[in-house]
Structure 1
Amino acid sequence: MTGVRLRGVWGRLAEGIQARPSSDGHRSGVWGRLATLVDVQEFRPRLAEDIEIREFTHRWGTDYAMIANPRDLVYYRLTPEELEVARLMDGTRTVKEIVVDRLKGSGDLELSSVADLVYELSFGNFLDRPFVDVDAAVQRALHPAPGARQRVGRFFKTLRLDWKGADRLVRWFYRYLLRWFFLKPVLLIVGVVSVGGFLAFLSIVRSGDFSLTAESAASGFLILMGLNYLLTFIHELGHAVVLTHHGRRVKSAGFMIYFGSPAFFVESSDGLMLDRGQRIAGAFAGPYAESVVSGAAALLVWLFPEAAFSPLLYKFAVLNYLVLFMNLIPLLELDGYWILSDFIQVPDLRPRSLSFIRHDLWHKLRKRARLSRQEVGLALYGFLGVGFTIFSLATAGFFWKNVFGGLLLSLWNGGVIPRLVLVLLVLVVLGPIVRGLINLARAVSRRLRALSQRVRFRLERKWRVEAAGLIDALPLFDDVPEEVLSDLAGRVALRTFGRGQPVVRQSERAQAFYVVRRGTLQVVEEDVATGN
C-alpha cells in the first residue's frame, strides 16, 4: 500500500514532521501527536448530521447518488462505490480502516481514491469539521473583496451578475400568488388558456392580417423588448417556484448575456435532489408558464384584431412561440433536453453523443465494427444536435433581420444618441462571439503548447528525470535495477489526450504502458451484449 501526498500547507507540514526523527521511533510527544493529526491515514472522517443523500437507479445501469450540503448548497455526484465509502464515514474508522473494510467487502485496495474522496467531501464541508482553506484565506488577505469598479469589470468579463437572496423573493411569490397554480382547477384553467391561445395563434397566421416586416417605432421596439424580458423572468420564476413547492431552495438568481441576448437565470442545483418526475416537472414549468403568457397574448390579438396593440402583441407571440419551440426541442441544452434526458435516464446525453462522434464513431467505421443500438442513438442525436444548432443560428438571424431590421436602420439614421444605442446593442450581441473567438485562440494555444512540450521532452534531460521518478514511484517497478529504469525513461514519449478521448479501447490490446503525468484517467467497462 502506498502513502498519499497531502496538498498545500498540510502537505509541507507532513513532510517536515516525517523528516523529524522521534527519540523512541514512535509517534510520541507534541510532534507525534501533530503527525497523527495531519496523517490522512489516521484521520477519522464523519459526515455532518445535516448531510442529505439520495440514490437514483437508471435502467441503463448508470446508477448514481447525490450528496447535498444544505448549509452551503453544495452538491456532489457519487458513484455507487463512492457512496459505499461515504456511508463508512461515521467517525469510528480511520481512512486506513475504511480501505481495509472495502478490501473485505469488494476486494478493492486503493488508499488514494478513498483519501481523495475524503478530501473532496472535506473541501465541500460535508464532514463534521469545518474546512479551512488556508491558501484561499491567504489570497483573500492579499486581495481583499472587490469594490464596485472591480465588480463591473468582472461582469464585462463573465457577462453575469448573481444575487444570493433570490430564494426569499421566490418564496414570497409562492406564498402569496403562485401556490394556487398547483391546484387542479387552476391548472385546468391556465391549460385552456395555453391550448386555446395556440389555436388562436394558428388562426391568426392563416388569416394573413399581420406581418413581421411591418415598420416599428422605437417605442414599439422598447415595449416588445420589455415584454420579452418580463416573459423570461416569468419563465425562470416557473422553474424556481417548482423547487419551492417541493421544499427545495434557490441557490441564486441573476442576469446574464446569453448568446448576445440579455436574460435572467435561476441557479436551481437543489433540484438535483428531487425525484425524476419532479425534475421533469421543474424543467417543464418554465416553458409551460411561457406558453400561458403567449397564449393570452394570442387570444387578445384574435379577439381584438383592430386594436392598436394587436400588431405589437402579434410579434410578441411569434417571437415567444419560436423561443418556446427552441426550448422544447431536446437538441440544445435547454429545457427540452433536460426533460428528455431525465425521461430516458441518460443525464449526460449531449456530451456523450458529441464525445462518441469525435472519438469513437470514426474509429469504429474504420474498423468496420458493428454499432450497438445505443451507439446508433448517440450518433443520430449528435448529428441532429449539430444540424439544429446551425438551424437555430440561421433562424435567429432571420428574425433579427425581419423584426428588428427596420428599427436598426432608423437608429443609424436618427442622430448621435440613437447611433450610440445601436453601437451598444451591437457590442452586446457580438460580445459572446468575441469571447468564443478568444476561447478558440486559447484552444489553439493549448495545442501549440502541447506540441512544444513534446519537442522539449525529446530535447531536455529534466523531462527524462521526471519520467524516471514517476515510473520508479509505481509499485510494479520496485525491483527494477537503476540502469533498466534509466533505459525506460529514455524510451518515454509524451502524449496529450483531450477530455473524453479514449486512451485504450475495451477488447483492444494496449500498444504502450501509460503513466499519468497530469490529469485523471477514468476506466469504463462496457457490457458487450447491451453496449452499456
Structure 2
Amino acid sequence: MSTSNSRPDNSIWSRVGNHVTDKAQATPSFEIWGIVSDRLNVAKYRPRRISDAEIADVSSKNGTKQYMLRNPNNNQYLKLGEEELFLWDLMDGKNTVKDLLLEYFSKYNEFGQQVLLALIGLLKNNGFLQDKVHPVMRLISAKMQKRKFLFFLVRIFKFFIHQQYTTNRVDKYFTWLYRYFARVFFTRAGIIIGLIFVLAAPVFFYYLFFVKQTGLLLTANLGHPPSSLDVIIAILLVYGSVFLHEMAHGLAVKAYGRKVLRFGIVMTFGMPMPFVDTTDIWMKGRRARIVVSFAGPWFNGILSSLLCFIGLLLPDGDIRAVVILSGMLNTILFVFNLIPMFESDGHYIIQDYLGFPRLRSESISFVTREMWKKILHAEKWNRKDGLLFLYGLMAVSGIVLMTFLGINMWFSTLRGLFNKIASEPVLALEILGFLVLMTLVFSFVRNGFRFTKKRARIKLPALD
C-alpha cells in the first residue's frame, strides 16, 4: 500500500549499504555493522599502554604495595596499587577487556569490573594509553561558557586565588646549578655544616629579637618613623628568600637524579609567589620525598644564620640593618614552613613519614563528617582515628586562620588606602600608574611563558 517502494532510496545509508554490498562480494568477511558493533562493545576493547612509561616502587611505610607511573610525554603521574599494576602489565593491545577481567579473576578470585574500568578511564585521561581522547562535549561547553560574563568573573576570581604561569624548560639550568654549585650542600660534610647553621638560626633570632630588641621594621631599627619603605623592603626580602627556598627544592630533586618539570609564578590570594614543580621526585622513595620537602626550610635556616652572623660583624648602618632583617625573616620562613597546620613543607614531611598520601583531605573529612557519625553511634576509636582527629583539628584551624588573616590584611590595606586617597587625591593617579605598570609586566611575563611553551612544541627540521 505504501508508495515508498516505488521511489529509489538515495539516502546516504542506502548508498553506504550498496557500497558495502558491492565490496562484500570481493571480501565476504567484511561486515561494516559487525565492525561498528565490535567498536561499541566495551568487552572487545583492547587497551594498549604506551611503551615509554616509567614505573617506580613507592610502597608505603606500613608495607602497602604502591607504584608510581610516569608519562614522559606529558609529565603526568598516577599512583597504582598491586592490582592496577597487574592489569597495566596486561594492556599490550592484544588482550580485550574481557580477557583482562578473566585474568584478574584467575589471580585474585574476584571480579574487578570497577577496578578495571576506573583504571582505563584514568589511563585514557592522562595519556597512558595509545588511544586519543576527544572530549567533544567538554570542548563545546567550554567554548560556549567563554561567551558568558559570569565566566569572565570566575576567571578573574581564580586568577587571584590560584593561577600558575610556568615554563617547562628549566631542568637544564637546575642541572647546571647542581653540578657546579649546589652539589657540595648534599655531601656529608655539607649536611653536617648545614645542620650547625640550621640549629643556630633560632638562637640568633632569640638574641636579636628578645635580647637586642631588634624589630622587623627597617626604619625603626635605624631610628626613623615607620614608612612605606618598610613594606617595600620587607616584600623584596621575602620574595628573594622564597625564591631561594623554591630553588632549594628543585636542587634537591636534581640530587636524586630526577627532573625539575616546571618553574614559574603561582598567584595565591592575589600575591604572586615563585613556584617549582617537584612532582618527578615521586618516582623515588619516601626518603627522597621527605628530603625534597625539607630542602626549602633547610636552606632558609642556613641562610638565616649566615646573614645574622655577617650582620653582627658589620658596623652600624643601613647595610647592617638590611642584612640582619633578611636573616630574621628567613628564620620566620624556616619555622613557618615546618608548621604542619598549613599545607606547608612540614605537612608533606609528616604525610610521607606516616605513609598517608591523603592525610590532609582524610583528616578534614574525618573532623567534619566521620567523627560525628562515630560519636553519634558510640563507636570505638582506633589509633588512626586519633591521628586524623589531631591533624584534622590543626588543618581546619589553619584554614580558618589563613582565611581570617587574608581577609583582614586586604580589608586593612584597602581601608587605609581609601583614607589616604581621601586626604591626598594625587595618590590615586600614582596607584593607577603602578597598576598599569604591573599589568604591562604581568603581560610581558605571561607572553614570555607562552612563547617558551610554543617554541618547545615546534620541531625544527634537520639541516643537511
TM-score normalized by the length of structure 1? 0.64
Relative to structure 1, the CA distance from residue 402 to residue 104 in structure 2 (aligned partners, 3 Å threshold; closer, same or farther) is: closer
Once the two structures are superposed, residues 70-115 of structure 1 have per-residue CA deviations (whole angstroms, 9 ceiling, x without a partner) of 1211111223322221122233321111111112222222445424
Q: Distance in 2 between matches of 1:119 and 1:390?
A: 36
Secondary structure of 2:181's counterpart equals helix
**Counterpart check, 1:194 vs 2:160:** no
Residues in 2 aligned to 1:96 and 1:276: alpha-carbon distance in whole angstroms: 36
* Mean Cα deviation higher: 276-285 or 95-104: 95-104
Q: Alignment length, in residue pairs?
A: 399
State which of 85, 88, 96 in structure 2 corresponds to 1:86: 88
Change (3 A) 1:118 1:367: closer
Cα distance, 1:225 vs structure 2: 1.6
What is the match of residue 238 of structure 2? 228
Point out which structure has higher relative CO (alpha carbons under 8 A, 6+ apart). Answer: 2
Aligned residue number for residue 111 of structure 2 = 109
The residue number in structure 2 matching 1:66 is 68
Matches within 5 A, 1:246-257: 246-257=256-267
Corresponding residue for 1:381? 391
Between the aligned partners of 2:270 and 2:357, the Cα distance in structure 1 is 27
Query: Relative to 1, partners in 2 of residues 1:210 and 1:378: Cα closer, same or farther, differing over 3 Å?
Result: same
Match of 2:176 among 172, 178, 182: 172
1:105 alignment partner AA: K
Question: AA paired with 1:104?
Answer: S
Q: Distance in 2 between matches of 1:250 and 1:409?
A: 46
**Residue 311 (1) aligns with residue 321 (2):** yes
User: 2:78 corresponds to which residue?
Assistant: 76
* Unmatched segments (≥5 aa) in structure 1: 1-16, 429-532
Aligned to 1:49: 51
- Tell me how far apart the structure 2 counterparts of residues 163 and 36 of structure 1 sit (CA, whole Å): 43
Is the 2:297–2:335 contact (alpha carbons within 8 Å) kept by the matching residues of 1?
no
Task: Find the residue that maps to 2:381 and give its secondary structure.
Answer: coil
- Tell me the secondary structure at the aligned position of residue 57 of structure 2: strand
Deviations, residues 108-153 of structure 1 (Å, cap 9, x unaligned):
22445424422431332223x252426289759979x9xxxx9999
CA 1:163/1:95 → structure 2, altered by over 3 Å: closer, same or farther? same
Secondary structure at the residue paired with 1:46? coil
**Deviation of the 1:389 alpha carbon:** 4.6
Offset at 1:419? 7.5
CA–CA distance in structure 2, aligned partners of residues 179 and 409 of structure 1: 52
Secondary structure in structure 2 of the residue aligned to 1:242? helix
CA contact (8 A) 1:197 1:295 kept: yes
**Which residue number corresponds to residue 7 of structure 1?**
none
Structure 2 Cα separation of the partners of residues 407 and 193 of structure 1: 41
1:207-356 counterparts in 2 under 5 A? 207-212=211-216, 214=220, 215-304=225-314, 306-356=316-366
> Equivalents in 2 of 1:134, 1:328: separation in Å?
41
Provide the residue aligned with 1:431 in structure 2.
Answer: none
The answer (yes or no) to whether the contact 2:57–2:283 under 8 Å persists in 1 is: no
Structure 1 residues 399 and 44, CA gap change in structure 2 (3 angstroms):
closer
For the residue of structure 1 that corresponds to 2:364, the secondary structure is helix
Contact kept? 1:200, 1:298, Cα under 8 Å: yes
Which structure has more helix as a fraction of its residues?
2
Amino acid at match of 1:97: D
Contact 1:53 1:67 in 2 (8 A): yes
Q: Which residue of 2 aligns with 1:135?
A: 136
Change (3 A) 1:175 1:414: farther
Deviations 1:171-223 (A, max 9, x none): 33223332332233333444444333442222222323422352344445323
CA contact (8 A) 1:216 1:407 kept: no
Is contact 2:159-2:270 (8 Å) kept? Answer: no
CA shift for structure 1 position 322: 2.3
Q: Distance in 1 between matches of 2:137 and 2:171?
A: 27
What residue in structure 2 maps to residue 96 of structure 1?
98
SS at match of 1:309: helix
Separation of aligned partners in 2, 1:173 and 1:212: 32
Percent identity between the two aligned chains: 27
What amino acid is the match of 2:170? A
Deviation (angstroms), 1:307: 2.7
Instruction: Indicate the residue corresponding to 1:478 in structure 2.
Output: none
Partner secondary structure for residue 233 of structure 2: helix
CA contact (8 A) 1:123 1:131 kept: no
Query: Normalised by the size of structure 2, how large is the TM-score?
Result: 0.73
- The answer to whether the Cα contact below 8 Å between 1:44 and 1:94 also exists between their aligned partners in 2 is yes
The CA RMSD over aligned residues, in Å, is 4.2
Distance 1:81 1:293, change over 3 A: same
Structure 1's 92 and 186: CA in aligned 2 closer, same or farther, altered over 3 A?
A: same
The 3 A distance-change label for structure 1 pair 95 and 356 is same
Mapped to 1, the partners of 2:370 and 2:154 lie a distance apart of 42
Alignment correspondent of 2:159: 158
Q: Which residue of 1 aligns with 2:446?
A: none
Q: Match of 1:263, SS?
A: strand
Amino acid at match of 1:168: K
Task: Report deviation, 1:388.
Answer: 4.4
Q: CA separation of 1:200/1:157 partners in 2, compared to 1, >3 Å: closer, same or farther?
A: closer
CA 1:48 to 1:395, structure 2 compared with 1: closer, same or farther past 3 Å? closer
Give the drift of 1:27.
7.9
Deviation string for 1:420-473 (max 9, x for gaps)?
549989xx9xxxxxxxxxxxxxxxxxxxxxxxxxxxxxxxxxxxxxxxxxxxxx
Q: Which amino acid aligns with 2:132?
A: F
Shift of 1:340: 0.7
The separation in 2 between residues aligned to 1:411 and 1:139, in whole angstroms, is 46
**Structure 2 counterpart of 1:247, one-letter code:** G
C-alpha separation in 1, matches of 2:305 and 2:403? 25
Q: Give the match's secondary structure for 1:211.
A: coil
Deviation at 1:282, TM superposition (A): 0.4
Secondary structure (helix, strand or coil) at the match of 2:318 reads coil
**Aligned equivalent of 1:204, options 203, 208, 232:** 208
Superposed, which structure 2 residues align to 1:6-21 within 5 Å? Answer: none
Mark the CA change 1:198 to 1:113 in structure 2 (over 3 Å): closer, same or farther.
closer
What is the CA-CA distance between 1:371 and the residue it aligns to?
1.1
Q: Which amino acid aligns with 2:136?
A: D
Deviation per CA, 1:479-498, whole angstroms, max 9, x where unpaired? xxxxxxxxxxxxxxxxxxxx
Tell me if the contact between 1:224 and 1:312 (Cα under 8 Å) persists in the aligned partners.
Answer: no
The equivalent residue for 1:181 is 185
The whole-number CA distance in structure 2 between the counterparts of 1:412 and 1:248 is: 55
